Structure 1
Amino acid sequence: MDAPWSNKETLKKSNKLERLSNEIKDFESYIAPTKKEQLNRDTLLYSITQLIDSLWPGNTVTPFGSSVTGLQFPASDIDLNVNFEVLPKNNPIDVLKVIRKQAVSRHILPNYSTRLVANAKVPVLMATDENQVSIDITVQNECFSSDRTAVWLKEYPMLKPLFMVLKLSIANYRISSLPTFEPMSAKTAGLASYSLICMIVSYIQLQASSQHPSDPEYYANLLLGFLDFYTEFENTRQAISLEGKGAYLAKNQTDIKIDTKPGRLTIIDPDVPNANVARSTFRFDTLKTIFAKARDDLRKRISNSTKGESILSSILQVQSHYFGEPRSEGARFRVRQIWINTGEAPVKFPRKRFNQAYRPNLHVAGHRYEDERKPYRGERRYNPYNNNNNSPQRSYNNSREESYDREYQRHKKNNNSHLAQHYKNKADRAKRR
């Protein structure tokens, strides 16, 4: 079934815009976190928080992003910030190094899944646990976007279903001439999630105020109107302002610089003076091509669809299964890509020279990259040809089993039954290995 989020009654509606509206609301429920996904996320968040509290009592560990706002997808990562009154190390990078070392030694995170990005504007420790839940940890990083988003979600109830559909469908598209471009990733010059939220709020404030949520076609008109509006949006001539009831400001109406390059987008940050929310977006012209394609795909399906056929699946394609069956969970949840053929040759990015030394994107104090990599502790421990140390060593599985068993006893003592059962199962699996 190409639309497992909706039942037959929804798909049989003769009014096609009403059918699309119901599909949008159904998709919000379909993509909501399952009990297993929520447990895995809560377990990792609890373990990391307890670890940091044990290292530096008195700190403030604050989740932010989709974990707080509820705008999370099956594979969304956890964003976590640690604040100190007095930084316990020389800089945030050294703090993140300690967190990584301790998380690996306590078997919270596997060593191979951790990556410390030190040369970013805000240094971040990125990692994935055994349940394929990802986490990004920062230090002394104030983030206002989560609080602002929470306020908007209360003020505009239609924001959440529209965001969930738009983010996943926009991310679904790929451009033939830019095969590595990810539309919903600021890392590839696309849109950040908060930028999309601001765009939706601005559209609701200024373009959709005349529509009433009780209209059966309301969400369909919102989706089509959003794609119509931003396909033609003059991003080189005006900035999006979200103050008060919202506005579109020309160059002479704002202090912030409006970049005239076709790929730039200017969204005035409502919380940080003279800051551009979309400062990492450099391919908005490509995004407008995607908006136009999604709009055309929807209108074509609306014109040609028969009774019982999904309209939303024209821009949003998930793994096929029947309505009522559980969807794939966590990182196993996949969305099928829709390619847009531009007729242009793919852009070739410069490659490194053959003999160029590999320089990892990691911060290692005092490390010379041209030196041969030293084996890490795990390799030295399990290398059968290393006879330097004849003392008996505990196997990895045994030490991990003991660690899980300690966590099980601790949670059982504290009456955390669901976490206790979780670690008991992990200890049993380690014992069987």
Structure 2
Amino acid sequence: MPCQLRLPRLCDSRHTYHYTLRHAVTSRTALRLFQQVRRASDAAKVAEREAAREAIKEKARQELLRRLNQSIDPNDLSATLEAHRESNRASVIHQVPTHKSDPEVWRPNFLNALSKPLPPSSKSRTVRAHYRSGAPRPYEYRVQRDIQNRDRSEQDTLAEFSETVAKTTNEDDAYQLKKMKDAALLVREQRAAVDTELRNGQNYERWTKFLHEHEKPLMAEIPEYDPKDRHTFFDLIRRVYHIIAREQKKAKTLGVLKGPDILKGMASPMLLLYSGVLRPLMSLKGSNDPEPWNRRPKNKGYSHREWFDLEITKFAEWMQLTPSEKAARAKLTETLLELVPRAAPDTGAEPFGSQVTGLTMPNSDIDIRIYEPNFNAPRQQDQEFADKDEKHAWQAQQKAEKKTRMIAHLSKVKSHLEKHPDFDQIEITESYYPLVKAVHLPTRLKVQVVATKSSDSSREAIKSYLEELPHLKPLFILMKTTLNLRGLSDPWHGGFGSYSLFMMCVVALKSAPLEPVKQNPFNSISDDFLYILKFWSRFDTSKKLLTIEPLGSCQKKLWATNEEIEASKTDFALSARLRLAKPVSYKPYLLALQDPADPINDLGRSGMAISDLQKTLRKLHRDLIEDLEDPARKKNPSALLKGVVGRCDRFFDEMRIPVDL
């Protein structure tokens, strides 16, 4: 076979190399000559590639030096620094698809010339068209997919625990498995608590900056963020929203604010959002004697639910007023009813609140309503208005004049209280409903004289619900104490007042399903209490509005349908419901609960701490269920209500001093 070393097939590809070897002469001389030729060819190509690479590097270096010389100005240091910053911003590395360069990243022209794009295949055209349609690329959702897989894995693990518990017949084994599940949930909550504290701290800084920019002069100094000081936290929210509401009113007057009432350029719609935290129980020190309500049923085979029923009943009985307390309150109320008309002759006075409804607790205030019985205010029906703006202006003027008159009356009451030797810490507050606050020294009871509207309709509603729901009064007292010991009962600091909390208990109890096993017309008191905790810990306040008359809920929405608008023209309750169903701008999380006694009144408008309340009730419900399912809980001498009300007897004992007036 002739030697084929000089054939054109000789090249450095592996296929041609083996093909040539198979047809080459096998003599040593020919083989040595072949190897020399191949090494020379390989060396030449390697040298050629190295030279091309060095040429590219040199060209890139020269281009960078040229750009650097353009950026340096020896006469202007600031321009040089700005040029360097621009160069640094341009050199940021972005993660981009391989088939296309990021236009924000600078790319030399010679590299664009060297990288000639290949004609796309039909498959690549299909893939690119799929991406153009909006589908995410793999690297865009890889992290999100990992997080979803982790959460799904945790949920699957908890589901396996629940399924195993359901199949376990041994109560002790089932309880141990539930404890493991609760431990897993606790770890997740602790991990989320750190993120919650960080987010709330960032929100606090934003609100502080907002107040420094728009509240001039500052109403009060803003302290540093303290995760435990929730009163200051919600005070800041109230101050920020007051400024926003004022600007919204101005914008509406000018006709430039429409839709969801968002102030563009001033405040983001997410400005007042926050994350709820668990409110701890107030720490009370005292003797180690058992709680007055810590009692066990007399029968030996009592169940946990019977034990819990007895504790709630004993707690409600212990919270009832003693005869000496009733006498002291009656005497103090009589003193105030005589003092107010004497201080302001043109006014009348009457008790209202818990003193009239029978829901008085040892720490309840003495509430007195002041009003003008002989003042004839101009009626709206007798007025003629050109348009709605004129009508609204007249209404605002009447409210302002009435508030001015009532503040003048309350100032006279304040002067008389200051002269009375039994009252101290007297102050007047010009809030939406002006009031005078004081402390009665002999009884240490708080007194409030409020210029508010008549409460006859709400008093009748409370009386009706107390007759309808037998467990309502003791459960309201228990819930009121629970919130009071955690700083959630003061509306001024985002909490819920007595009337709002009462109606929250009503709507939960009226929604509670009856136990199918029992033939009683009512659930046990412990069942109702657990359902109240469960209902309010799970209700989505950002999406739904609640009504009691009729009982139900509806979606929150900005705009009503045409059918609803037509029906609301003849139905005042529906018209008020549509108005309350509109989410509050900047605070969409607020509870919307329609007052059955006054349909236009929203009982949740001041409860900014609703997220704190729901998180606290969720924890209480889970802990109580754990105690009630623990087979060994009877061996523990502590009360089941220990985690709910703690040792509040030490708090109320100071108010149970017999007083002889």
Q: Report which of the two structures shows the higher radius of gyration computed on alpha carbons.
A: 2
The amino acid across from 2:472 in the alignment is: L
The answer to whether the 8 A contact 1:186-1:281 is kept is yes
Rate the CA distance shift 1:422–1:320 in 2: closer, same or farther, 3 A: closer
Distance 1:208 1:23 in 2: 23
Give the C-alpha shift of residue 95 in structure 1. 0.8
Structure 1 residues 33-182: aligned runs within 5 Å? 33-55=321-343, 59-86=347-374, 91-110=405-424, 113-118=425-430, 120-130=431-441, 131-143=443-455, 144-173=457-486, 182=487
Rate the CA distance shift 1:77–1:16 in 2: closer, same or farther, 3 A: same
Q: Alignment partner for residue 502 of structure 2, among 183, 197, 219? A: 197
1:275-316 Cα shifts (integer Å, max 9, x gaps): 211110112122110111111221222233115542122211
Give the C-alpha shift of residue 187 in structure 1. 1.0
The answer to whether the 8 A contact 2:363-2:652 is kept is no
1:18-56 Cα shifts (integer Å, max 9, x gaps): 111121111111001122322222221111111224345
Give the C-alpha shift of residue 222 in structure 1. 0.8
Give the count of matched residue pairs: 320
Give the C-alpha shift of residue 422 in structure 1. 3.9
Structure 1 residues 396-415: aligned runs within 5 Å? none
> For 2:351, what is the secondary structure of its paired residue?
strand
Distance 1:85 1:57 in 2: 11
Structure 1 residues 9-408: aligned runs within 5 Å? 9=297, 14-55=302-343, 59-86=347-374, 91-110=405-424, 113-118=425-430, 120-130=431-441, 131-143=443-455, 144-173=457-486, 182-209=487-514, 214=520, 218-244=524-550, 246-251=551-556, 254-255=577-578, 256-259=580-583, 261=587, 263-304=589-630, 305-307=633-635, 309-318=638-647, 328-330=653-655
The amino acid across from 1:96 in the alignment is: L
Distance 1:83 1:289 in 2: 40
Q: 225-234 or 301-310: which moved more?
A: 301-310
Rate the CA distance shift 1:147–1:330 in 2: closer, same or farther, 3 A: farther
Partner of 2:135: none
1:306-333 Cα shifts (integer Å, max 9, x gaps): 1554212221112568xxxx9614288x
Unmatched runs of 5 consecutive residues or more in structure 2: 1-288, 377-401, 565-576
Give me the TM-score of the superposition, normalised by structure 2.
0.45
Structure with the bigger RCO (C-alpha within 8 Å, sep 6+) is 1
Distance 1:328 1:11 in 2: 31
Partner of 2:43: none
The amino acid across from 2:583 in the alignment is: D
Distance 2:298 2:493 in 1: 37
The amino acid across from 2:653 in the alignment is: S
The amino acid across from 2:534 in the alignment is: D
Q: 267-276 or 288-297: which moved more?
A: 267-276
Give the C-alpha shift of residue 108 in structure 1. 4.0
Unmatched runs of 5 consecutive residues or more in structure 1: 174-181, 333-417, 424-433
Rate the CA distance shift 1:147–1:215 in 2: closer, same or farther, 3 A: closer
Give the C-alpha shift of residue 172 in structure 1. 2.7
> For 1:280, what is the secondary structure of its paired residue?
coil
Distance 2:437 2:507 in 1: 32
Rate the CA distance shift 1:288–1:234 in 2: closer, same or farther, 3 A: same
The answer to whether the 8 A contact 1:191-1:281 is kept is yes
Distance 2:446 2:301 in 1: 40
Distance 1:26 1:236 in 2: 37
Distance 1:56 1:34 in 2: 33
Q: 6-15 or 202-211: which moved more?
A: 6-15
The amino acid across from 2:599 in the alignment is: P
> For 2:634, what is the secondary structure of its paired residue?
coil
The answer to whether the 8 A contact 2:346-2:374 is kept is no
- The Cα RMSD (Å) is 3.1
> For 1:134, what is the secondary structure of its paired residue?
strand
Distance 1:266 1:327 in 2: 32
Q: 101-110 or 2-11: which moved more?
A: 2-11
Rate the CA distance shift 1:139–1:157 in 2: closer, same or farther, 3 A: same
Give me the TM-score of the superposition, normalised by structure 1.
0.66
Give the C-alpha shift of residue 234 in structure 1. 1.2
The answer to whether the 8 A contact 1:227-1:291 is kept is yes
The amino acid across from 2:634 in the alignment is: T
> For 2:326, what is the secondary structure of its paired residue?
helix
Q: Which runs of 4+ in 1 moved over 4 A?
A: 10-13, 55-59, 87-90, 209-217
> For 1:114, what is the secondary structure of its paired residue?
strand
> For 2:645, what is the secondary structure of its paired residue?
coil
